[in-house]
Amino acid sequence: MADCLFCSIVDHEIPSDVIYEDDMIIAFNDIAPQAPVHFLVVPKKHIASLDEATEEDKELISHIMLKIPELVKEQGVENGYRVVINTGEDGDQTVKHLHFHILGKRKMTWPPG
């Protein structure tokens, strides 16, 4: 999508602090971190939100979920972490491209907000 921030990052039109990339996903450090470790995992395929994912996306979603623990370990997170998927207006989704926030290296609280 031409006006999608994350599509521009996927296409390397906008610089980002990439920590991992393969043919399906890109992972990069958040520009406004909420924890000592805070990165995003973004599918290269444009999917507007989790609500828009379909059966054909199950391999992609599975790949993301299995890659997150590897990336967390590479980032030095040892005692747990949080994965957040903001979906829709009430979920505070600000970029309309499915993305996974991974936060670690600090104690998380509940409820989150």
104 pLDDT more than 80: yes
78 pLDDT more than 70: yes
Cβ atoms of residues 98 and 48 within 8 Å: yes
* 4 closest CA partner among 98, 91, 101, 83: 98
What does the pLDDT read at residue 42? 98
What is this structure's pTM? 0.95
SS3 60: helix
How far is it, in rounded angstroms, from Cα 64 to Cα 74? 15
Model confidence at 112, pLDDT cuts 50, 70, 90, reads confident
Compute the half-sphere exposure of residue 99: CA atoms within 13 Å on the CB side of its CA: 25
Give the burial class of 99: count Cβ atoms within 10 A of its Cβ; 0-12 exposed, 13-18 middle, 19 or more buried: buried
Q: Does domain 5-104 have CATH number 3.30.1330.60?
A: no
Model confidence at 46, pLDDT cuts 50, 70, 90, reads very high
85 pLDDT more than 80: yes
Domains of the chain by residue range? 5-104
100 pLDDT more than 90: yes
Assigned token pair, 110: 């509940």
What does the pLDDT read at residue 113? 62
Q: What is the mean pLDDT of residues 7-18?
A: 96
Q: What is the mean pLDDT of residues 36-63?
A: 98
Q: How many other β-carbons are positioned within 10 Å of the β-carbon of residue 72?
A: 20
Residue 99 appears among annotated catalytic residues:
yes
Q: Which of 38, 46, 63, 99 is catalytic?
A: 99
